Amino acid sequence: MSVQRTYNHKALVEEMELFFENSPFQEIWEYTKRMVEAHHENCGEAWLQFDNTLTGEEISIPLQGIVLNLIEQLDEHHSIRLHRAITIGRARARGLSRNDAIQAHLQALEEVSPPNLRLLDGGKK
């Protein structure tokens, strides 16, 4: 028996829309959307391929160029924030609520964050 994997591409796009809203990168985002949606007849399939290209699961060479074009336009601060938006959007596209997706992202960050280290005054005695 096969399990049907649901993918709601609109959740990924919505999360990215929130990120790019009123940003200086709105134009590159609009270009990216047009190019992704022109990539495949089925809009949902195009965004799934975009998603898979982001993660390296199944790289689409044409979409890889679109992804690289989008990312190289951003400065470091915005790249980090885009990564957050993509991570949350991908989780939502796979069925999590926005709140659950945010919590999963925060939990993942805690798991990979280095432990808090503190310097002891005086050092070793």
Q: What is the pLDDT of residue 4?
A: 42
pTM for the predicted model, two decimal places: 0.80
Q: What is the pLDDT of residue 55?
A: 87
Q: How does the average pLDDT of the chain come out, rounded?
A: 88
Q: What is the pLDDT of residue 86?
A: 94
Across 30-37, average pLDDT: 96
Q: What is the pLDDT of residue 117?
A: 62
- The CA angle 110-59-99, to the nearest 5 degrees, is 35
pLDDT tens profile 48-100? 999 999 888 898 999 999 999 999 999 999 999 999 999 999 999 999 999 99
Q: What is the pLDDT of residue 112?
A: 75
Q: What is the pLDDT of residue 3?
A: 37
3-state secondary structure of 6: coil
Q: Measured on CA atoms in the order 39, 30, 68, 97, is the torsion positive or negative?
A: negative
Task: For the chain, give every domain's residue range.
Answer: 9-109
Q: Examine the pLDDT at 120 and tell me if it is beyond 80.
A: no
